Structure 1
Amino acid sequence: MSAMLVLLGGVVVMSVLSGAYTITPGSALRILTGGANAEMALDSRILLDIRLPRIVLGLVVGAGLALAGAVMQALFRNPLADPGLIGISSGAALGAVAAIVLGGGAFMTLVPAAFAGSLLATFCAYLLGRRTAGVAGLLLAGIAINAVCASAIGLFSFVADDSQLRSLTFWTMGSLAQGNWSVLALLAPWTVFFGWVLCRQWRALNALLLGEREAMHLGFELHRLRRRLIFMVALLVGPLVAATGVIGFVGLVVPHILRMLLGADHRWLLAASMLGGAIALALADSLARVLLAPAELPVGIVTSLVGAPFFLWLLVRADRRDG
């Protein structure tokens, strides 16, 4: 864990200094310690008003997505599970696309619409899935909800004009460019609170790994536990997706790697996943800002370029092990 903290610090320093506009280490240090002069006004504005809130947003969103992925993988007892499995991400995407096409796409309209879409999709998946015992029904309901949301997004994309189509395309790719201190003032306490609540569920998650019958024998009421975990994950992830768009594979790759390295004890895995997710997304955003500088890649493209091959490797590895 201490090594991850050191790595996190290194990634943050690298993120502060990287970008299309170069800020030297000495200038960054003077600005952060309050020693900037009038000649450093541009550096100060870029660092304090643009780059730093974006970095902090990446840390918050990465930590939340990875924690949600660790919880979902334990709930489904499947290392390939992630928050999008039950429609959280696709529901948020549908809400945001609807706001862009029907409401003009203002940020203060888009975020509540995306959040409402994620909660509605999760609620529908839960209502449909609870008719079947275990998590199989929820999984099938999530697949159906994702398909419905994808169809509706396609319909909105068809009727959108050129400017709306550009906005919704960039939103669905995921970006931290909307990061500012006002957004973080709402998002950071929300993520910290629900992250703390989910981390306290480590005993229940460890019990779920043993199997549903064993968890019941240990005193956990599975129906209530499953419902509580699902909606806490939705409440955690919904605002994150609403603020940044769809950023894939962080919730899938990070918890899986850490489980391979640290084991499946959620007492440590959940906290490690938050640190790992923060590191991964901050690093991905740094790469997104410098790979094609002065142009900028959406961070969701970077996470997909790394995460998709890893996902394929997991499938091949699982197939060989089963064979």
Structure 2
Amino acid sequence: MNKASALTLRTGPFSLTFHLLPLLSLAGLSMTLVAVAMTALLTGSEAVPFDTLLSYFHLGSLDDSAAQQADLLILDAFRAPRICLAMLCGAMLGCAGAVMQSLTRNGLADPSILGVREGAALAIVSVILMRSELALIWRPLLGMAGGLAAGLSVKLLAKQSTSLRLVMIGICLSWLLSAVMFILLSSSSTQDLQTVMLWLAGDLQSATWSSVQLASLILLSCALILILCCPSANIEALGDALATSLGVRRSLIASLRFCAAVLLVATSVSVAGGMAFVGLIAPHLARLLANNSERSLLLGSGVIGALLVLSADTLARAAFSPLTLPTGIILSVLGAPSLIFLLWMRRDQF
């Protein structure tokens, strides 16, 4: 990319370069995300008037009518936290997918193949079936612990081996954890089974502001770590020998990126269940818009992931009203043909 298309900010010995094309693409995606979020706030089984939405953001006048108060309650208690959580989960999965594909140098790598999703799901399913009296706040915390344990187990078993071995060990662990989880499900009651299967499909109906706060904290923390690792990741993409000769601490950077990606996936699964295809598709779509910079790819994947999950959740709520489908089902229906199309478009690269 030529210098005319780049903007460099300098402060003393520090400088930060922005490439204009990826920056404009990211801005356009962000505006699209905001537009979809506003549409999602207005639509659903109960339509909300636009003036009520303005009042909710304190941009319009409030009145004491029962209709507006009911609409404000729908927005604040149900629709707004669900929409925020959908965007956060999509961003977490998109960023994690970009990191996993970069670490394994495999465009078909997905965060779920490392056992993280199954580890988090097994921990939460165990809580639902065996300790249902525990407060809801414990579920995401235990889910994150289970996902981290699974991801770190894969990392320790693979050690310094090739990325192919890492993926294969992750797949084997995923199968094992899934088998254990279905053994638990086969011995559960019908009511518990229905609750668990709905959650496993990827559901945002139980979104609360507490889960939004937890997801926001994890996303911001992990995103900061990943962005700080981007310069080293760019150098490492040029080759292991060159990265080592330039003083890049490859093991440390790879471990930080891996742990951050695992935590992002575990958190998403813990608060919203399984969301298929997002971590796989979002990085490929981001590569169509961004340059080869790890930072551009990471940010683009996060915004596209948020847009994918939010769009799927809006369709799940509005397209089949008054019936609400799990968001994960809509993602699977839309994601499978999209992935096939992407693979066909980039068939020479796989």
Q: Is TM (by shorter chain) over 0.5?
A: yes
Counterpart for residue 62 of structure 2:
36
Deviation at 1:258, TM superposition (A): 1.0
Aligned-partner Cα distance in 2 for 1:146–1:133: 19
SS at match of 1:201: helix
Deviation at 1:151, TM superposition (A): 0.6
Residue from 130, 152, 176 that aligns with 1:148: 176
Q: 1:222 to 1:190 in 2, by over 3 A?
A: same
Q: Tell me if the contact between 1:53 and 1:180 (Cα under 8 Å) persists in the aligned partners.
A: yes
Q: Tell me if the contact between 1:250 and 1:277 (Cα under 8 Å) persists in the aligned partners.
A: yes
Report the more deviating stretch, 3-12 or 108-117: 108-117
Deviation at 1:194, TM superposition (A): 1.2
Identity within the alignment, %:
30
Q: Tell me if the contact between 1:74 and 1:208 (Cα under 8 Å) persists in the aligned partners.
A: no
Report the more deviating stretch, 29-38 or 70-79: 29-38
Q: Tell me if the contact between 1:97 and 1:153 (Cα under 8 Å) persists in the aligned partners.
A: yes
Q: Tell me if the contact between 1:11 and 1:283 (Cα under 8 Å) persists in the aligned partners.
A: yes
Tell me whether 1:139 sits opposite 2:167 in the alignment: yes
From the two aligned structures, give the one with the greater helix fraction.
1
Tell me whether 1:5 sits opposite 2:30 in the alignment: yes
Deviation at 1:209, TM superposition (A): 2.8
TM-score normalized by the length of structure 1: 0.93
Deviation at 1:17, TM superposition (A): 0.7
Q: Tell me if the contact between 1:99 and 1:110 (Cα under 8 Å) persists in the aligned partners.
A: yes
Aligned-partner Cα distance in 2 for 1:224–1:199: 15
Q: 1:118 to 1:31 in 2, by over 3 A?
A: same
Report the more deviating stretch, 304-313 or 51-60: 304-313
Considering only CA atoms, is the larger Rg found in Structure 1 or Structure 2? 2
Counterpart for residue 285 of structure 2:
257
Structure 2 residues not aligned, in runs of 5+: 1-25
Aligned length: 321
Residue from 276, 282, 291 that aligns with 2:310: 282
Aligned-partner Cα distance in 2 for 1:90–1:114: 10
Q: Tell me if the contact between 2:236 and 2:248 (Cα under 8 Å) persists in the aligned partners.
A: no
Counterpart for residue 267 of structure 2:
239
Q: Tell me if the contact between 1:128 and 1:137 (Cα under 8 Å) persists in the aligned partners.
A: no
Counterpart for residue 117 of structure 1:
146
Aligned-partner Cα distance in 2 for 1:321–1:281: 28
Aligned partner of 2:31: which letter? Answer: V
TM-score normalized by the length of structure 2: 0.86
Tell me whether 1:14 sits opposite 2:43 in the alignment: no
Query: What is the Cα-based RMSD across aligned positions, in Å?
Result: 1.9
Tell me whether 1:268 sits opposite 2:296 in the alignment: yes
Counterpart for residue 8 of structure 2:
none
Aligned-partner Cα distance in 2 for 1:207–1:82: 23
Counterpart for residue 128 of structure 1:
157
Q: Tell me if the contact between 1:36 and 1:44 (Cα under 8 Å) persists in the aligned partners.
A: no
Counterpart for residue 195 of structure 1:
223
Aligned-partner Cα distance in 2 for 1:120–1:90: 11
Report the more deviating stretch, 234-243 or 199-208: 199-208
SS at match of 1:184: helix
Deviations 1:244-277 (CA, angstroms, capped at 9, x unpaired): 1111111111111111222321122211222222
Deviation at 1:126, TM superposition (A): 1.0
SS at match of 1:187: helix
